[in-house]
Structure 1
């Protein structure tokens, strides 16, 4: 199936998979390429800074790096969901070039992203990794490490967790709707993606279950606990550097 201009096949999967492509946002939005810029002439206007501060205020996070981790995992999940959903349903993915894809740091799925033009690309693991890992997750990790001193292992663990979560949700939908072909494609592609050098050491994938080798630090927010795929079985004692790698 060819990509349609509205990516309509993604809608039944839920908001996290949906990518708006029509109409213009109510206000100008930065591209993700601009978001990943480490230097900013006005840090208060920087979209990633805004997003991290918003997450920090919402969670009452005691450290900026905790909010940076949660914000990064959320954006990674959106990117993986769109790419994996399109790959499994269309056999193609849209070009998600960070200079083309716009992001609203104050928005929530599906209205946080906007793609003004749908350009089809192959849906093989190499292309998906080039689009998501190299195009987005690498510059995003570099920016967050520079601004918030978040450990690389934590950020790539988040990326692996986000990929596994998107794959699990897609598999659940596919099986519930009798689309075993979609489930098989999603599982196969996800397994291939976890062979990528950036992802292979992030955790262990067994079917749709994932156990990561790092912690996202969510347990450190007030009332927070361990995520389902956390490397810990119980929250460790909080310390300035606990579970950062």
Structure 2
């Protein structure tokens, strides 16, 4: 199936998968490329810092790096969901170049993204997805975050893997509910291939659609946060200020 201008096939899967494609050019929003490349420490001049400050306020996070990790995880989940969803449902992946994606850093969750031009890439395999999401977004995003926050590389890789596994799991559930076993199998297969990528290998263990990561995203340090379903911890560590995260 060819990509349609609205990427309408993604909408039934929910907010993490749906992508705005209309009106992006008219909105004065920064592109993700601008967000990754911004070096200003000013909260109003740097979209990433603004987003992290917003997340920190919403979560009452005691440390800014906790909010930075949560913000990273949320954006990674959006990017993987769109790319993997298109690969599985359309058999084609749109060009998600960071210069084509506009981002409302003041928006609600899931992150509000606008694609200014829907044009297919030549492939829809794991290599294409890795180039599109890992190389095109998550590597420059990680570098931008680490420039301002003490985030371990292992934590960020774990976030990337967790977001990928979560997207694949939601696709699998949706496909099974609609008796699309081939779609479910394709989602699982792509996720397994991607988790074997050099940037993601060793981040955790995938069993079927269940993923257990080897790092922690720090969410347990949020008041009342607890641990996530795929966390390396089964209960929140008592020595939270010094617990391993990467």
TM-score (ref. length: structure 2): 0.96
Say which SS state the counterpart of residue 102 (structure 1) adopts: strand
Which residue of 1 is the match for residue 17 of structure 2? Answer: 17
1:6-60 deviations in Å (ceiling 9; x for gaps): 1011111111100111123774110001111151274432110010000000000
Partner of 2:116: 116
Corresponding residue of 1:84: 84
- Decide whether the 8 Å contact of 1:17 with 1:110 is kept in 2: no
CA offsets 1:32-90 (integer angstroms, 9 cap, x no match): 01111151274432110010000000000000000000000000000000001000000
DSSP 3-state at the match of 1:21: coil
Partner Cα separation in structure 2 for residue 61 and residue 40 of structure 1: 22
Distance 2:45 2:73 in 1: 21
Structure 1 residue 196, shift from structure 2 partner:
0.4
What pairs up with 1:1-245 in 2 under 5 angstroms? 1-24=1-24, 27-40=27-40, 42-108=42-108, 112-121=112-121, 122-245=123-246
CA-based RMSD of the aligned residues comes to: 1.5
CA distance in 2, matches of 1:38, 1:213: 30
Q: Structure 2: how far apart are the matches of 1:109 and 1:233?
A: 26
CA distance in 2, matches of 1:206, 1:149: 31
Structure 1 runs, 4 residues or longer, greater than 4 Å off:
none
Contact 2:93 2:124 in 1 (8 A): yes
Of 18-27 and 215-224, deviating more is 18-27
Q: Does the 8 Å contact 1:77/1:163 carry over to 2?
A: yes
Judged with a 3 Å threshold, the aligned counterparts in structure 2 of structure 1 residues 62 and 203 are, in CA distance, closer, same or farther, namely same
The 1-side partners of 2:19 and 2:207 are apart by: 28
CA contact (8 A) 1:218 1:225 kept: yes
Aligned-pair CA distance for 1:107: 1.3
How far the C-alpha of 1:237 sits from its partner, in A, is 1.9
Number of residue pairs the alignment of both structures matches = 245
Change in 2 beyond 3 A, CA 1:215/1:42: closer
Superposed CA deviations along residues 198-243 of structure 1, whole A, max 9, x for unmatched, are: 1111100111000000000100010110100000111112343422
Q: Which structure 1 segments of 5+ residues have no match?
A: none
Distance 1:186 1:93 in 2: 14
CA distance in 2, matches of 1:209, 1:99: 33
Unaligned runs of 5+ in 2: none
